[in-house]
Structure 1
Amino acid sequence: MANIDIRDVRKNYGAVPILKGIDLSIRSGEFVVLVGPSGCGKSTLLRLIAGLEDTSQGQILIDGTTVNDLPPKDRDIAMVFQSYALYPHMSVRDNMSYALKLRKKTADFIAGAVNKAGAKLGLDALQERKPRQLSGGQRQRVAMGRAIVRNPKAFLFDEPLSNLDARLREQMRFEIRKLHRDLNATSVYVTHDQIEAMTMADRIVAMHGGVIQQVGAPLELYDDPANMFVAGFIGSPAMNFLNADAAPVSGSDGQIVKVGDTEVATIPGRGLPPKVVVGIRPERVQLSAEGSVPARVDLVEPTGLGTVAHLQIGGQDLKLFTTDRPQMSAGETVKLRLAPGDLRLFDPDTGARIRI
């Protein structure tokens, strides 16, 4: 296990900045997920930790030792890539043991390490097979086993499940998280899939444009996003955003929030600017016969687990998700309730969260 500290790390490709000053501390034994859209810098940051690329500025420390000038082989980390990168002419056993042979480990040490890793990963019966005889999930397990036998200080995962189908990704998410728990290892995991981030992480690092937007536990980012990017990226279906006007309630300590001509809520307190963006999770949009917010139904999508309804409020789109099976049809008008406590307010110019 190892602590990993990243201090003001920047990476430029020529004159183009990719990482713009990253500060992050990863605790020993922690499972941290770097998440964000393509091009946000998450894989670049992982490659800098691994030593596959050089920093333009800043320090990377592993267990208190600066490793900027150390080659990858001397950093005592193991990396699992999106591509399995297995030797096609070698058996599972030989693929897993190859790095140990290069390090001149004894035959008994190698056999013990490979057998132990194979047992953890359910590869016991596959040791003599070649990669072409394995499924995608089995190949990914071999790639993980190759990393485990080295007993590194930290594991780095670069979108390892992207090539797998949805059901296999679900299975491998469980296996990687269970493996992390059993090994009590420090793990840094990169993905663009926010479901992977939510289900696997101790902490999520949400990145966008080469900048860390927010760091926290999965439900912290889900329930209390720092800005519109985090609010919109984390969660499926994604958070609704409505452009709204805010005005004080005469004779009361509150403010009315309106979308077009439709009043959606009264927010306690004062201090809202006249223009705001209102965010609300689709599962927090409530169908209610006593609701005061009219909405027109555009489309209804049954998912089995529940129903997604695409609605219109004041000329703007709003999604509703419910585990019930309401009887709605396109073109009809329904009534909604939007509880003030479920609303998240944002600055329309900066995207920053507004707290009052």
Structure 2
Amino acid sequence: MATITLSNVSKDYGGGPVLRGIDLEIREGEFVALMGPSGCGKSTLLRLIAGLEEPGGGQIHIDGRLVNDVAPKDRDLAMVFQSYALYPHMTVRENMSFALKQRRLPPAEIKAAVEAAAVKLGLTNLLERKPKALSGGQRQRVAMGRAIVRNPKAFLFDEPLSNLDARLREQMRYEIRKLHRELGATSVYVTHDQVEAMTMADRIVALNDGTIQQVGSPQDLYDNPANLFVAGFLGSPPMNFLDATLAPDGALVVEGQTLARVSPPAGPPPTGVASGAVILGLRPERVALAASGEGVPARVDVVEPTGTGRVIHLGLGAQRLKLFIMDTRPLAVGETVGLIVPPGAPLLFDPATGTRVG
């Protein structure tokens, strides 16, 4: 197990900065997800840790050792790629043992390591097959097994589940997390999928435009997002954002109606909201339908059954929002329903900067 420390790390390929002054400490035995949209710099950051790219500035330490100029093979890290990267002419056993043979380990030790990893991953009956005779999920398990047998200081996962269908992704999420608990190895996992980040990570590093937006536990980022980017990236359906006015008494006025109330500001409002203009963030599952004739009126535009509940698309004047409800009452398109926003549900953001202000 290893600690990984990044200090003011940057990267520029010549067309503008890809990473801008990244500071991050990954603790021993921790599972950290680097999460963000395509182009945010998460895969570049992983490649810098692995040594496949050189940083433009800053320092990378593994277990306290500066590794900026250390070759990838000498960093004692194992990578699992999206593309599996298996040797097609080799059997599963040969693929998993290849790196150990390169180290010239005793054959008995190699055999024991491969078979132990195969048991963990359910590959025992597939050891003599070649990759072409395996499913996508089996190939990914082989790629993981090849990494496990090396007993590295840390595992680096670069979107390893992107090529799998939804059911296999769910299965592999479970298997990767289970393996992490069993091995206790430091793991860094790159993903654009917020479900993967939320369900697997001890901590999430939310990246956008080459900068860290927020670091914390999945639940903390979900409940207490630092800005509009983090709030909108996590959650399905995503958070609603409404243009609102914050009155001195704490009333949040949307389209001329008081949709919710918050505690009145304790002091001068932050720069950018002095006029009372805010962006109101509401999680779809934290807004309720009122009893008939009560609540703030909104128009039903679309009803989407999901099996476990329903996503209701609503019109509130010129603005739109979604609800996720378990309520089974009949709803018709065009019908007017009432909304109730409970205390604690509203999140407030500065419209000028996107920063969380309440």
TM range (shorter): over 0.9
Residue 262 of structure 2 contacts residue 346 of structure 2 at CA under 8 Å; is this kept in 1? no
The separation in 1 between residues aligned to 2:240 and 2:329, in whole angstroms, is: 20
Residue 262 of structure 1 contacts residue 313 of structure 1 at CA under 8 Å; is this kept in 2? no
The residue type paired with residue 212 of structure 1 is I
The answer to whether structure 1 residue 20 and structure 2 residue 20 are counterparts is yes
The residue type paired with residue 41 of structure 1 is G
The separation in 2 between residues aligned to 1:285 and 1:114, in whole angstroms, is: 52
> What is the CA distance between 1:353 and its match in structure 2?
0.2
Which stretch shows the higher mean deviation, 33-42 or 317-326? 317-326
The separation in 1 between residues aligned to 2:247 and 2:97, in whole angstroms, is: 68
The separation in 2 between residues aligned to 1:116 and 1:256, in whole angstroms, is: 62
Match of 2:259 among 256, 260, 264: 264
The separation in 1 between residues aligned to 2:100 and 2:244, in whole angstroms, is: 61
Name the residue aligned to 1:66: 66
> What is the CA distance between 1:324 and its match in structure 2?
2.6
The answer to whether structure 1 residue 343 and structure 2 residue 310 are counterparts is no
Name the residue aligned to 2:141: 141
The answer to whether structure 1 residue 311 and structure 2 residue 314 are counterparts is yes
> What is the CA distance between 1:340 and its match in structure 2?
3.5
Any idea what SS the aligned residue of 1:340 has? coil
Name the residue aligned to 1:251: none
Which stretch shows the higher mean deviation, 257-266 or 84-93? 257-266
Any idea what SS the aligned residue of 2:44 has? helix
The residue type paired with residue 255 of structure 1 is G
What do the CA deviations read for 1:215-259 (whole angstroms, capped 9, x no partner)? 0000000001000100000111100000011222xxxxx222111
> What is the CA distance between 1:276 and its match in structure 2?
0.2
What do the CA deviations read for 1:249-296 (whole angstroms, capped 9, x no partner)? xxxxx2221112122122222244310000010001100126431100
What do the CA deviations read for 1:80-106 (whole angstroms, capped 9, x no partner)? 000011111100000000111111111
Name the residue aligned to 2:280: 278
The separation in 1 between residues aligned to 2:159 and 2:329, in whole angstroms, is: 38
The answer to whether structure 1 residue 93 and structure 2 residue 90 are counterparts is no
Name the residue aligned to 2:335: 332
Any idea what SS the aligned residue of 2:262 has? strand
The residue type paired with residue 290 of structure 2 is S
Residue 277 of structure 1 contacts residue 345 of structure 1 at CA under 8 Å; is this kept in 2? yes
The separation in 2 between residues aligned to 1:14 and 1:35, in whole angstroms, is: 24
TM-score normalised by L of structure 1: 0.97
The residue type paired with residue 352 of structure 1 is T
> What is the CA distance between 1:15 and its match in structure 2?
4.4
* Fraction of identical pairs, as percent: 66
The residue type paired with residue 66 of structure 1 is L
| Structure 2 unmatched ranges of 5 or more | none
The residue type paired with residue 195 of structure 1 is V
Residue 262 of structure 1 contacts residue 314 of structure 1 at CA under 8 Å; is this kept in 2? no
TM-score normalised by L of structure 2: 0.96
Name the residue aligned to 2:203: 203
The answer to whether structure 1 residue 321 and structure 2 residue 324 are counterparts is yes
The residue type paired with residue 322 of structure 2 is K
Any idea what SS the aligned residue of 1:204 has? strand
Name the residue aligned to 1:255: 250
When the two chains are superposed, the root-mean-square deviation of aligned CA atoms in Å is: 0.9
